[in-house]
Amino acid sequence: MLFALAVAALVLVPVAVTFSSFARVEGDILAHLTEFVLPELVGNTLWLVLGVGIGVSVLGVSLAWLVAMCEFPGRRVFDWALLLPLALPAYVTAFVAIGLLDFTGPLQTWLREAWGITGLPEIRSRGGVILVMSLALYPYVYLIAKNAFATQGAIALEAAQSLGLSRTQGFFRVALPMARPWIAAGLMLALMETLADFGTMAIFNYDTFTTAIYKAWYSLFSLAAAAQLASILILFVLVAVVFEQRSRTQMRYGAVGRSAASRRIRLSPALAGLTLLYAGTVLAVAFIIPVTQLTLWTRDVIADDLDTRYWAFAWHSVLLAGIGALMVVTVALLLAYAGRQRPGSAMVWTQRLATLGYAFPGAVLAVGLFIPVAWLDNWLIDAGRAWFGFDGTEILKGTLLVMLLAYLVRFLAVGFGPIDSGLHRITRNVDEAARNLGTGAAGLLTRVHLPLLRTSLLTAATLAFVDIMKEMPITLMTRPFGWDTLAVRVFEMTSEGEWERAALPSLAIVIAGIIPIIFLTWRGAHSHG
């Protein structure tokens, strides 16, 4: 519990900084936003959350079910390939989608010129944003739900069928409810990321709560008003998350019987064909087409832009994402474990506070972290100057420590979701059996739980690794001099609208992100075969 509180306190630092903005209320700016900006964007934001929520759930759960429970041609490839969109930042997918599908894009141009067809639905619209965000974020649900289906055991389903439920009924009445914590964990990640997103919304010029936060800061020069709006957003997320969690605290989700993986449902040729078509289309639209476009753009700029520094950028990205992911997984495991040892509503609140960093708009979190770090650093520097004649301008700020802590605060949710839901799968009976055999608390963790949690841990590590690789605002604000990463290169190019030149670092991020995804699947395949 103490540990959980300590982690939560770390996250509470930027939260406190953000909330402290209420000390200075700029009435005219808030009044203006309330009158002219908020009414529309609250509706926009709700539609977005609803649409993306449905989109990622339908895509993620259906694909997870098909891959985990059914046999169809190419299943083993789709198993990992459907995760690949994770490696692609959503704003890249958005930029490519608009480039291809807008009035000026090749599709509409061809339809117009060859066939005289006009009046296609506008991609730069609410529907377009929802579509792109769903395609970019469904892997969170897919990955975590797939683990749930794969581990929930075929016996439950067989029992359902022996009780007279059809296969469809069995899915909706047994498999789906049994996978609920997993689906909810994936959905929460996808929705928190949607709420905090700025890049994709900017490309679509779609106004959400987060775009208003940046408007208050960058355009109306009021960091205070921005922080106040962010506080409201964070409160909203906290309440939603705790509400979701409490609605299922009374349930237990242990596994029943052996894994289902060995008895996949054999689909009829027609159904198998449809499944292949469906999974293939999602993969093509969410990954293959955007990456092809990136590759084409990269080809145009690679001769001018690829230099030896890229090794350093890539190394920095991989190193930071690697260490960061390790920290995230370690802390998330301890946090989830604390919850298992000491359940109760105080713990739920503590855990949820500790994982709130993911719902922050990135740059607001970066500032919320930077201000206290700079304050502490100033104190250290002044003390160092007085006592040791220290002559410098940074102590903490010049190290990677600040950056890594910031990643931890931001991405703890990404590690916590899969690990916490994975822990639910281990029944109390297992603990008791182990204890009866004389295993102590430490032995229970290292010899019983960790092996059982392997897939969840790898999932958490992969998500955290890929997310850190893509992260921009924290990296920009807290990197020491000379610590540029691939994501920083993307920023350098896109900040002046040079999207084609941003393709090279974006593609490098994708390639570096694919490695752990393949590793995850390979290890995953060996851990519960």
Partner 1 sequence: MKPTLTRLLAALAFTAAALPALAEEVVVYSARNEQLIKPLFDAYTRDTGVQIKFITDKEGPLMARLKAEGSNTPADVLLTVDAGNLWQASQEGLLRPIQSKTLQANVPAHLRDPDNAWFGLSVRARTLVYNSSKVKPADLSTYEDLANPKWKGRLCLRTSKKVYNQSLVAMMIKEYGEGKTEAMVRGWVGNLATSPFPDDTKAMEAVAAGQCDVTLVNTYYFGRLMEKNPNLPLAIFWPNQNLKNKESGVHVNISGAGVTRHAKNPAGAQKLIEWLSSDKAQNLFADVNLEYPVNPKVAPDKTVAAWGSFRQNLINVKEAGSLQVKAVKLMDRAGYK
Q: Name the CA dihedral angle for 63, 69, 71, 72, rounded to a multiple of 10 degrees.
A: -10
Closest to 191 measured CA to CA, from 27, 329, 45: 45
And the tokens for 416? 């916590």
Residue 319 Cβ, how far from partner 1 at the closest point, in Å?
Answer: 9
Helix (H/G/I), strand (E/B), else coil: 105: coil
Binding residues for partner 1 restricted to 112-141, rule: CB under 8 A: 122, 124
The residue (of 181 and 473) whose beta carbon lies closer to partner 1 is 473
The residue (of 42 and 374) whose beta carbon lies closer to partner 1 is 374
C-alpha dist (Å) from residue 91 to 85, 96, 212, 371, 402: 12, 9, 18, 28, 26
359-378 footprint of partner 1 as x/- string (CB under 8 A): ----x--xx--xx--xx-xx
493 counts as binding partner 1 under rule CB under 8 A: yes
And the tokens for 406? 């910031």
Query: Which span sits near partner 1 by CB under 8 A: 159-167, 449-457, 494-502, 503-511?
Result: 494-502
Query: Which span sits near partner 1 by CB under 8 A: 73-81, 174-182, 241-249, 386-394?
Result: 386-394
For residues 339 and 333, give the distance between their C-alpha atoms in angstroms, rounded to a whole number.
Answer: 10
446 counts as binding partner 1 under rule CB under 8 A: no
286-325 footprint of partner 1 as x/- string (CB under 8 A): -------------------------------------x--
Residue 502 Cβ, how far from partner 1 at the closest point, in Å?
Answer: 11
Residues 6+ apart with CB under 8 A from 109: none
Residue 515 Cβ, how far from partner 1 at the closest point, in Å?
Answer: 19
Residue 328 Cβ, how far from partner 1 at the closest point, in Å?
Answer: 14
223 counts as binding partner 1 under rule CB under 8 A: yes
Closest to 63 measured CA to CA, from 151, 142, 162, 172: 142
Query: Which span sits near partner 1 by CB under 8 A: 136-144, 352-360, 407-415, 490-498?
Result: 490-498
Sole binder of partner 1 in the list 311, 481, 526, 529 (CB under 8 A): 481
For residues 217 and 223, give the distance between their C-alpha atoms in angstroms, rounded to a whole number.
Answer: 5
Closest to 81 measured CA to CA, from 298, 325, 291: 291
Residues 6+ apart with CB under 8 A from 512: 87, 314, 317, 318, 321, 469, 486
Sole binder of partner 1 in the list 250, 268, 308, 393 (CB under 8 A): 393
C-alpha dist (Å) from residue 397 to 122, 393, 403: 46, 9, 9
The residue (of 110 and 172) whose beta carbon lies closer to partner 1 is 110
The residue (of 251 and 401) whose beta carbon lies closer to partner 1 is 401
Contact 291, 87 (CB under 8 A): no
Sole binder of partner 1 in the list 37, 52, 283, 510 (CB under 8 A): 37
* Burial class of 31 by CB neighbour count within 10 A (0 to 12, 13 to 18, 19+): exposed
For residues 271 and 265, give the distance between their C-alpha atoms in angstroms, rounded to a whole number.
Answer: 11
Contact 123, 97 (CB under 8 A): yes
Query: Which span sits near partner 1 by CB under 8 A: 180-188, 243-251, 268-276, 472-480?
Result: 472-480
36 counts as binding partner 1 under rule CB under 8 A: yes
Q: Name the CA dihedral angle for 203, 209, 213, 214, rounded to a multiple of 10 degrees.
A: 0
Query: Which residue's entry shows tokens 């990463």?
Result: 485
The residue (of 67 and 96) whose beta carbon lies closer to partner 1 is 96
Contact 55, 134 (CB under 8 A): yes
Helix (H/G/I), strand (E/B), else coil: 384: helix
Sole binder of partner 1 in the list 401, 433, 450, 511 (CB under 8 A): 401
Binding residues for partner 1 restricted to 182-211, rule: CB under 8 A: 202-205, 207, 211
β-pairing, 265-266 vs 70-71, is: parallel
And the tokens for 322? 């690697």
Residues 6+ apart with CB under 8 A from 401: none
The residue (of 28 and 432) whose beta carbon lies closer to partner 1 is 28
Question: What is the size of the binding site for partner 1 (CB under 8 A)?
Answer: 64
Query: Which span sits near partner 1 by CB under 8 A: 74-82, 143-151, 155-163, 214-222?
Result: 214-222
CA-based torsion, 337, 342, 344, 347: positive or negative: negative
The residue (of 70 and 445) whose beta carbon lies closer to partner 1 is 445
The residue (of 32 and 528) whose beta carbon lies closer to partner 1 is 32
Q: Name the CA dihedral angle for 451, 452, 455, 459, rounded to a multiple of 10 degrees.
A: -100
The residue (of 356 and 366) whose beta carbon lies closer to partner 1 is 366
395 counts as binding partner 1 under rule CB under 8 A: yes
Contact 138, 60 (CB under 8 A): yes
Query: Which span sits near partner 1 by CB under 8 A: 332-340, 430-438, 456-464, 487-495?
Result: 487-495
Sole binder of partner 1 in the list 1, 440, 498, 511 (CB under 8 A): 498
Residue 71 forms beta bridges with which residues? 266
Sole binder of partner 1 in the list 138, 182, 217, 416 (CB under 8 A): 217
Residue 363 Cβ, how far from partner 1 at the closest point, in Å?
Answer: 6
The residue (of 151 and 211) whose beta carbon lies closer to partner 1 is 211
Site residues (vs partner 1, CB under 8 A): 29, 32, 36-37, 98, 102-104, 109, 122, 124, 202-205, 207, 211, 214-215, 217-221, 223, 323, 326, 363, 366-367, 370-371, 374-375, 377-378, 381-382, 392-395, 397-401, 404, 473, 476-477, 479-482, 484, 488, 491-493, 495-498
